[in-house]
Homo-oligomer: A and B are copies of this chain.
Amino acid sequence: MTPFLQLIFVLTIILFASKLGGYLTSRIGQPAVLGELLVGLLLGPSLIDLTHLVFITDRHLGEVVAEFGEIGVLVLMFLAGLELHFSELTRNTRVAAFSGILGVLTPVGLGLLAGRMFGYSFTNAAFIGLTLGATSVSISAQTLMELKVLRSRVGLGLLGAAVFDDILVILLLSTFLALSGGGSALDIFLVLLKMIAFLSLSAAFGLWVLPKLSRRISKMPISQGMLTFSLIIMMIYGLAAELIGGMAAITGTFLAGLMFARTPEKNQIEPGLRSLAYSFFVPIFSVNIGLSVDTHLLNLNALW
């Protein structure tokens, strides 16, 4: 098999398994995303090791699948933003800020404590805490959307908290690096400045330029013009979040979704985005999480 046929083979298995897994868990009253994660675990190195089957000779196949999945989570967070109104999110600022801050401080504090108790130095223990501080919002967002409670008070609080979380962890990490000798106070200031630059630039573009641009593009005779335009803007926001803001790309695409949610063209892009997301990229994302877990590395004896 050529590398391309190997990719098609693996994608066929992933799409089939994820929809089957999702269907089965939804039949027993659980979110479909649970089944998708579970089949990923079965297809991963723990059991079947899909990307290393005997006839898979392309050593980069796993990376390519992971990249499809990463595009999936970008689109997923874009859709999550698209379902919300900016005003709804800001109305819940207090809840979001409070839970975001607690959601970082608790794991960081507990991680630090545990690290110290196991005899690590303060620096190492703090680092353990910080790695536990970052929350994965993508699976929560997917579950909230599936259960149709993303726009509830709980859903909005959760997503808002995730944005605070992302900002706070990066600030803490750079502060930590500065204090432990890896950087200076100027570095912390610079990190803060970059975030502010990204957030204000992307908000300004989204509030003032995007609506006019969307209106013009939507009238142009380009096949799937609005949908492609929204994907381009989504990717630019993701890139800008990483390159300008030093933040996560999904924070950027979430913001892009929030911006598009305010335009009347939102309704033109949503059905196509859903097709793109849920028929192809998002199932690959969910399964790929499982694919990257190797349960053999879990030392169950350590529990005793």
A-side residues, CB < 8 A to B, are 1-5, 7-9, 11-12, 15-16, 19, 22-23, 26, 32, 60, 63-64, 67, 70-71, 74, 146, 220-225, 227-229, 231-232, 235-236, 238-239, 242-243, 249, 271-276, 278-280, 283
Contact A222 B23 (CB under 8 A): yes
Give Cα distance in the complex from A106 to B81, angstroms: 56
Contact A279 B224 (CB under 8 A): yes
Partner of A275, one of B32, B63, B276: B276
Q: Which residues of B contact A221 (CB under 8 A)?
A: 23, 26
User: What are 20 A-B contacts with C-beta separation under 8 Å?
Assistant: A5-B242, A5-B243, A5-B249, A8-B249, A11-B235, A12-B236, A15-B228, A15-B235, A16-B232, A22-B222, A23-B225, A223-B278, A224-B278, A228-B278, A228-B279, A228-B280, A271-B272, A271-B275, A275-B275, A276-B279
Q: Which residues of B contact A60 (CB under 8 A)?
A: 60, 63
Q: Which residues of B contact A235 (CB under 8 A)?
A: 8, 11-12, 15
Instruction: Report the minimal beta-carbon distance from A41 to chain B, rounded to whole angstroms.
Output: 20
Contact A19 B222 (CB under 8 A): yes
Q: Which of A3, A9, A272 has the most CB of B within 10 A?
A: A272
**CB-nearest residue of chain B relative to A275?**
B272
Contact A70 B4 (CB under 8 A): yes
Contact B243 A1 (CB under 8 A): yes
Give Cα distance in the complex from A74 to B4, angstroms: 12
Contact A279 B272 (CB under 8 A): yes
**CB-nearest residue of chain B relative to A59?**
B60
Q: Which residues of B contact A279 (CB under 8 A)?
A: 224, 227-228, 231, 272, 276
Give Cα distance in the complex from A239 to B71, angstroms: 24
Q: Which residues of B contact A236 (CB under 8 A)?
A: 12
Known: A64-B67, A242-B5, A280-B231. A224 touches B275 (CB 8 A): yes
Q: Which residues of B contact A280 (CB under 8 A)?
A: 228, 231, 276
Q: Which residues of B contact A239 (CB under 8 A)?
A: 5, 8-9, 12
Known: A19-B222, A222-B19. A276 touches B278 (CB 8 A): no
**CB-nearest residue of chain B relative to A14?**
B232
Give Cα distance in the complex from A72 to B273, angstroms: 17
Give Cα distance in the complex from A232 to B283, angstroms: 13
Q: Which residues of B contact A71 (CB under 8 A)?
A: 8
